[in-house]
Structure formats: structure tokens, C-alpha cells
Amino acid sequence: MCGIVGYVGDDSAKEVILTGLQALEYRGYDSAGIALSKNGKLLIRKESGELKNLVKRTQAKDFEAHIGIGHTRWATHGSPTRENAHPHVSQDGRIAIVHNGIIENYQELRQWLTKEHNIEFKSVTDSEAIAHLVSIYYKGDLLEAVMTATEKLSGAYAIGVIACDNPDEIVAARMDAPLITGIGENGNYLASDSPALLKYTRDIYVIENGEYVVITKDNIRIMDKDGTRIRRQSTHVDLDAAAAEKGGHPHFMIKEIYEQPEKVKEALKIRLDKHNNVKLEGIHFTKAQLEGFDRVYIVACGTAYHAGLIGKYAIEKYAKIPVEVDVASEFRYRDPFVDDKTLVICISQSGETSDTLEALREAKKRGGRILSLVNVVGSSVARESDDVLYTWAGLEIAVASTKAYTTQLICLYLVALYMGKVKGSIDTEHYRTVIDELLLIPEKLETVIRSERRIRELAEDVYKKEQIFFIGRGVDVATSLEGSLKLKEISYINSFAIAAGELKHGTIALIRRGTLFLALATQDKVYEKMISNIEEIKARKAFVVTISKDSRKSIEKVADRTLYIPDCIDDLTPILAVVPLQLFSYHIAKLRGKEIDKPRNLAKSVTVE
């Protein structure tokens, strides 16, 4: 999604902004631009396509200043052209703005600006209207102009504004789109996300909804909508700068796949006390409270939704509370049964996904108690929840989520165990078995990762296929959905996941000689049933690759190719079984020469509805 960077200070604004935009590249973009303010003029450079195009266009020595704003755009209104790229400039050439979010009333604003103020729009974006609005209200006080302009906006925005006759100030505003300011020694910063500023500062202020900021070289002033100054503690960002580098790997995705044993270990370790009982930092539910919940909703999008599907199994099994899992974009519009007896679990890596955030707000309005599982510390989902459990996967840069997913799974198992223990709905022996098995997971993940060569060889044999099916039963259905999503998003192969038992109700019609199936058979409980489903597709000449537990070598009798995960209890196989699927997708995409870390049309953090 769009990224914003701004700087005012002693250093080169161009350098700071380009560095920041490069650090935000992982969020996804299709055009970029910079506006600098110098000697009473605005200098603008914009380019479509990769950031290196913009870098080339900003090389000139006279394109330098000490104040500026920059933007990477992920197209929503209008195609990714130079005209539609930000910064947008007002008709009188005095104001430049960058905007992240969507202005919902932009059509009305365009009409009004065209009719009443003779504005000729240069782009087809919703954002350009902001530049013209600010310029209409600008009478020398930029903050006042931005405040008046934003009163006219409805929708979501994080905005950065500069004026050509005001070389000392950046003014910014936030409503439902992430925004931070960075405190530096040689100046101050504006950004949509902290990785943009890691090279320069780790001390930031998180800007809240409805707030305005004036950033000068020596000062950052945060104000509410009435202009009253807000005093706020700065936050220290504890991100490792090395996390933003590939560390010798060709892609972030493979680096992040390899990090999973360690991240899973950390996510577990900090939640187990010395007796290996689950403790969830800062989260306390009494038995009465848990018994008071008559249902749990899990709400999330994409990969996080798939984690939720597995969470449902764990919570229903250990805590004995009915769970419904919903894609966030549907949940908020379908009048869900949420009241004060509902626990709503929101799962989000970024914590900024608009659909999830709006679903959370809807659930809160209806009286639900919100527990969130979030990776990005201090993100909107985290801040607006009653309770937060951080997944501690570290910075995830590849668009295709891997380590965030496996750490979400760990947190869901821990939440389910915790609830079961407090409620007394899981017996001690079962509780112990699951925890003992969880503790073995990091080592078993290492084993799966060591089998990469076999997975790569499989990918070499099948990477030209144009259609791939994933099937499974029980929790393997959720893992199939996740494997299929991973494959399609980075390799662009048409893939499809379905419960194995459901195949015969229609989808089986698609099978022809050589149709490729990845069949997950990790569940002892339904192993024989899965073998029958594999026989059914083999009978129709499909090519079947199976993923099963090590001890299930008998599967070789029915499968064309086999991949194994270490033996483990059925409940926990999703954490292991997803890894061969991540590696399979990675190698297929690599063999097909695709942009693995930044697939087309996708963004890391989806801040639009």
C-alpha cells in the first residue's frame, strides 16, 4: 500500500525520502514521487513503475532541499501513471500533498472545486482534491488550511503537506491510515511506517486519528482537532535494522521461511512459565468471564484468516466454546451476533488492514470483547483492542506471509490452551501433551526446512503446470487453503483448495490426465478416508503429491510423489505442514522467474477496503 515519507532538517531531504521509500518498498507500490520546497518554489519529480525510475529522475544536483515529502503509490483511483502519482500539486503551484487512504467524497469535491473554483484536475485520483482544498484555504497558516480542508473530507487519510512559501514546516493529519513522526538529531521526520525511518531514528510519536502535526527542524507539535496541543511520550522502536536486509538470502520470503523455527520458539518461550504453563502477558480472563462467552468470532483476512480456521479447531477442542471464523470484509456487513457475551479475536500481521480494523470497530460497537493477535507493535488493531497478544514474528517484508502465519498459529494454540485451562474444559494430561508437543515444534520445523532439496526437485518437475489443486481433511483443509493462496500470489498459477470429501460433489469434473494435486494427509483420524480420496483422483489419472507424517510411509503405495513432516499430534500438524507448501510455492515462483517478494497487484498492508 501507499507509503509516505517526509523530512525537514539539515540533511538532504531527497536522500532521506528516497531511503525511506526504499525501506517501504515491501508494502507494494506502482509509482512514486517527491516534492521539495526550495527558494519559494516546489520541485516535483514523479515516475511510474519501480522506485529506481524515480531515483534516476532525481539525480540532478539542483534537485536538493532541506524539506520535502515523498510517496509510493498503490493505485486505487486511476492507473499507475506519472500523472496519478503523488505528490499532487495545487493549481496555483503553492501546495504539494501526499496521501495514503481513500477519500470517499472525492467526486463531490471534484465537482465543487471545478465549478466554484475553476480547478482543472490533472489526475484522476481521489487525492488531488486535497491539494486544491488546502490551497483554497491557505492564507499563510498551513496548519489552519489543512485543518479546514480535512473538515471537508470523508474517508481515510494520512496526509503530508508542504507549501512553497513555507520552507520550515511539514503539516500532517491522520484519520484511519497509519502515520508516525520520527525524532531526529538533524531534523524531524514523517512516515507511514517505522521501517522507513530505521536508518535515521528509532524514537517516534504515533499519530492518532483526528490529530494534526506540525513538523519543523527542531520541533514536533501534535494537536487535536481544536488545535489544542497534545503532550505524548515518544515510543522507542525496537526493530533490528538487519531485519530489513536479506542476510545473504536471494529473497526476503526464503529468509522469513528459514526464520520460522526461531520465531516460533520465541513466541512460545515467552508465554510459558517455569512449570510450562501458559501465561499470556497482560491478558487475564477469569473462569466466570470465559464461561460468560457464549461464542467466539475470529475475524481476519487472507493468510491471517487461514490461521483463524485452525484457531477454531483448537478453541472448540480445548476451551469448548463455539467458534465462527469470518473474513473481515464480510463480517462487518452481515449483522453478526455480537454482544457482551462474545469474544472477538482479530488476527492481523500488519495491524493496519482496513477490513479487519473496521470489523473490530463494528464488533466493539456491539459490545464484544476484542482480543487481537498482531505482529506490528503499536499498530491500529493493537491500539483499539481490549487485549493484545503480539506474535513477535519480527519485521515481515515479503508480501507473501510465512513467519507471521506460523507465529499466529502458535498464539492461537496458546490462547486455546489458556482458555481451556482456566475454564477447566481440558484435562491436565491433554494440556500437558499439547504443550510438550509444542515445545518440540521448533526442532521439527528445522527438519522440514532441511528437506528443502526434495521440495525444490518436485518444483522443478511440475513448475510448468497451469493449474494445481490442494486437498485435505480437518485442519488440513485450512493448510490447503493457505498453500493454495501462497502459490497463486507469487507464482500466478491458478490454484484451488477444497476439502477432500467435497471433491466428488462437483470439482472432480475438472480432473484430467496429469492434473496436479497436493494432497495433505497429516490427520491420523481421517487418514484412511484421505487415502480413499487419493485413490479416487488417481483413478482419474491425476498426478498426486502427498504430504504426510514420517511414519506413514504406506502412502507411497498410492502417491506419485511424497513429502514428509516429522510425526506429531494431529492438532499441531498445521504448523509443520504449511512449511513444505511455502517452500514449494517459493521454488515454483523462482523457476517461473516471478517477482517473489513483491508480486504484481499486491501490497503488504492493505489499508483500503
Spatial distance between the Cα atoms of 488 and 495, rounded to a whole number of angstroms: 6
Which residues within the stretch 148-167 sit at the binding site for ligand F6R (CB under 6 A)?
none
Using CB under 6 A, pick the residue from 127, 201, 303, 406 that binds ligand F6R: 303
User: From the list 85, 130, 191, 301, which residue makes contact with ligand F6R (rule: CB under 6 A)?
Assistant: 301
CA atoms of 427 and 430, how far apart (whole Å): 6
Q: Scanning residues 567 to 606, which ones bind ligand F6R (CB under 6 A)?
A: 605-606
- Considering beta carbons, is residue 135 or 605 the nearer one to ligand F6R? 605
Q: CB within 8 A of 420, min separation 6: which ones? A: 318, 319, 320, 426, 431
Residue whose Cβ sits closest to ligand F6R:
302
Closest CB 328 distance from ligand F6R, rounded Å? 8
- Of the pair 142, 346, the CB lying nearest ligand F6R is at 346
CB of 577 to ligand F6R, least distance (A): 16
CB of 451 to ligand F6R, least distance (A): 22
As measured in angstroms, the least distance from the Cβ of 261 to ligand F6R is: 20
The candidate with the shortest Cα–Cα distance to 437, out of 320, 526, 565, 530, is 565
Least distance in Å: CB of 348 to ligand F6R?
3
Region of 13-21, 247-255, 343-351, 550-558 interacting with ligand F6R (CB under 6 A):
343-351
Determine the Cα–Cα distance for residues 250 and 591; give it in Å rounded to an integer.
13
- Does residue number 260 form part of the binding site for ligand F6R (CB under 6 A)? no
Cell of 517: 494435486
DSSP 83-124: TTSSPEE-TTS-EEEEEES-BTTHHHHHHHHHHHH----SS-
Q: Judged by CB under 6 A, does residue 302 bind ligand F6R?
A: yes
User: Which one of 35-43, 46-54, 300-308, 462-470 is the stretch in contact with ligand F6R (CB under 6 A)?
Assistant: 300-308
Closest CA relative to residue 126, chosen from 146, 153, 151, 147: 153
Considering only residues 100, 127, 260, 348, which one is a binding residue for ligand F6R as defined by CB under 6 A? 348
Does the protein bind ligand F6R through residue 523 (CB under 6 A)? no
Residues in region 229-248 near ligand F6R by CB under 6 A? none
Residue 402 C-beta: closest distance to ligand F6R, Å: 8
Partners of residue 352 on adjacent β-strands: none
* Closest C-alpha to 205, from 171, 173, 237: 237
Site string for ligand F6R, 474-513 (x = CB under 6 A): -----------x---x------------------------
Q: Which stretches of 333-374 are assigned E, i.e. beta strand?
A: 342-348, 369-374
Stretch that binds ligand F6R, among 173-181, 302-310, 511-519, 584-592 (CB under 6 A): 302-310
**Residues 394-413 contacting ligand F6R, CB under 6 A:** 400-401
Count other C-beta atoms under 10 Å from residue 567's C-beta: 17
Contact with ligand F6R (CB under 6 A) among 58, 350, 391, 495 = 350
**304 touches ligand F6R (CB under 6 A):** yes
Residue 379 interacting with ligand F6R (CB under 6 A): no
Among positions 355-374, residues that touch ligand F6R (CB under 6 A) are 356
**Least distance (Å) from ligand F6R to the CB of residue 303?**
3
Q: Catalytic site residues?
A: 2, 604
The nearer residue to ligand F6R, 16 or 606, going by C-beta atoms, is 606
Q: Is the peptide bond before 250 cis (omega within 30 degrees of 0)?
A: no
DSSP alpha helix (H) spans, 424-541:
428-450, 452-462, 475-491, 527-539
| Phi, psi of 198, rounded to the nearest 5 degrees | -50, -35
Phi-psi region at 392: left, alpha or beta (left = phi > 0; alpha = psi -120 to 50)? left
User: Exposure pattern of 252-263 as b/e (b: 16+ CB <10 Å)?
Assistant: bbbbbbbbbbeb
Q: Which residue from 31, 125, 150, 349 is in contact with ligand F6R, where contact means CB under 6 A?
A: 349
- At CB < 8 A and 24+ separation, what contacts does 42-49 make? 42/89, 42/93, 42/94, 42/96, 42/162, 42/164, 44/87, 44/89, 44/96, 46/82, 46/85, 46/86, 46/87, 47/82, 47/85, 48/80, 48/81, 48/82, 48/85, 49/80
HSE toward the beta carbon, residue 92, CA cutoff 13 A: 16
Per CB under 6 A, the segment of 130-138, 165-173, 296-304, 555-563 that binds ligand F6R is 296-304
Min CB(470)–ligand F6R separation in Å: 15
- Measured CA to CA in angstroms, residue 181 lies from 74, 172, 460, 571 at distances of 22, 9, 47, 43
Specify the residue, 166 or 385, whose C-beta has the smaller distance to ligand F6R: 385
Total residues contacting ligand F6R (rule CB under 6 A)?
15
Of residues 317 and 594, the one with the C-beta less far from ligand F6R: 594
Q: Of 96 and 304, which has the nearer Cβ to ligand F6R?
A: 304
User: Cell match 492438532: residue?
Assistant: 571
Grid coordinates 504443550 are at which residue? Answer: 435
Q: Can you give the binding site for ligand F6R, defined by CB under 6 A? A: 301-304, 348-350, 353, 356, 400-401, 485, 489, 605-606
